[in-house]
Structure 1
Amino acid sequence: MVSGNEHTGKLTDLQISLLRLLDQGLDSQQTLEIRRLLMSYFSNQLKDEVSRAVEEKGYTDDDFRRMLVEDNFSITRK
C-alpha cells in the first residue's frame, strides 16, 4: 500500500479530525477500541493489496512454498 503522502509540515484534514477526536477525554478502553479499529482498517487494506499483487503475478501456493525454500526463486509469468 503506497500512501503517496509527503511530509509538508501541515496536518491533513484526517489528522486534525483524529486529534480532535482524541482530545475528547477518552478513557483507555475507548482509546484501545479506536486503535483496534484503525489497525483492522489498515490490515484489511494490506490484505487487499497483497491479494491484488498475488493475482496480478499469478502466484500459487506452490510458488509461495518455493519462495520459502529456494535461495534464488524466480518466476516468469504474465
Structure 2
Amino acid sequence: MQVSLLRLFNRPMSEEQTLILKDLLVDHYSRLLDDELDKVVAERGYTQKDFNDMLNGDD
C-alpha cells in the first residue's frame, strides 16, 4: 500500500497541496480513532465519572 501511495504522489506538489493532503490523512485517521474509542467506551461501559477517576488517579 505504501509503495502504491508513493507512486501515486510521485509528482511535484506545492506546499499548499502537501498541507491539504496531510490534513486529509490526519482527518481520516482521527475519525477512525474516534470510532474505535467510541466502540471501546461502549463495550466497557465507561462513564464520565470513570474518566474523571482515571485522570485523578482514583481507583
Q: Quick check: TM above 0.5?
A: yes
What's the TM-score bracket when you normalise by the shorter of the two chains?
A: 0.7 to 0.9
| 1:1-20 superposed matches below 5 A | 14-20=1-7
Higher relative helix content: 2
Instruction: For residue 69 of structure 1, report the CA deviation from its aligned partner.
Output: 1.1
Structure 2 residue aligned with 1:7? none
Unaligned runs of 5+ in 2: none
RCO higher in 1 or 2 (8 Å CA, sep ≥ 6)?
Answer: 1
Structure 1 runs of 4+ with >3 Å offset = none
RMSD of aligned residue pairs (Cα, Å): 1.2
Instruction: For residue 34 of structure 1, report the CA deviation from its aligned partner.
Output: 0.7
Aligned length: 59
Q: Distance in 1 between matches of 2:2 and 2:54?
A: 39
Q: TM-score under structure 1 normalisation? A: 0.68
Unaligned runs of 5+ in 1: 1-13, 74-78
Structure 2 residue aligned with 1:63? 50
